[in-house]
């Protein structure tokens, strides 16, 4: 490690980062990890139900979102470099 002002500044910055991590981020780490696991478990359960042929419980409630999804798919396939998507009349 270099000596002088630059080396001291780098070490001070690293100590400040470590303090920030301990003081702010570490307080909420367990709650964030627990929420992440809960969301991942819910997603896995929905995929498992779908693979077993069980209808997705929120399928009826999400019918209103289909027009927005189609618009998002159109923007997405344009960003990916595909001028057309799917069969004729499906998207473009």
Same domain (yes/no): 35, 17: yes
Same-domain status, 80 and 40: no
Q: Domain residues for 90?
A: 62-92
Domain tally for the chain? 2
Query: Using one digit for the tens of pLDDT, what is the confidence trace for 23-74?
Result: 887 778 888 889 999 988 888 877 777 777 877 777 767 667 667 767 777 7
Residues 66 and 33 in one domain: no
Query: What span, in angstroms and rounded, lies between the C-alpha atoms of 82 and 28?
Result: 42
| Closest to 85 (Cα-Cα) out of 66, 70, 77 | 77
Furthest C-alpha separation in the chain: 68
pLDDT value for 88: 66
13 plus 49 within the same structural domain:
yes
**pLDDT single digits (tens) 2-28:** 578 888 999 999 999 999 888 887 778
39: its two tokens: 């969301």
**pTM, full prediction:** 0.41
């Amino acid at each position: 490690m270099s000596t002088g002002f630059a080396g001291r500044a780098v070490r001070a910055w690293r100590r400040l980062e470590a303090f920030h991590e301990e003081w702010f981020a570490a307080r909420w780490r367990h709650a964030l990890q627990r929420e992440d696991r809960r969301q991942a478990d819910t997603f896995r359960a929905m995929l498992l139900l779908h693979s077993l042929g069980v209808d997705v419980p929120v399928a009826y409630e999400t019918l209103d979102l289909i027009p927005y999804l189609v618009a998002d798919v159109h923007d997405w396939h344009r960003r990916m470099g595909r001028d057309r998507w799917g069969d004729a009349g499906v998207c473009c």
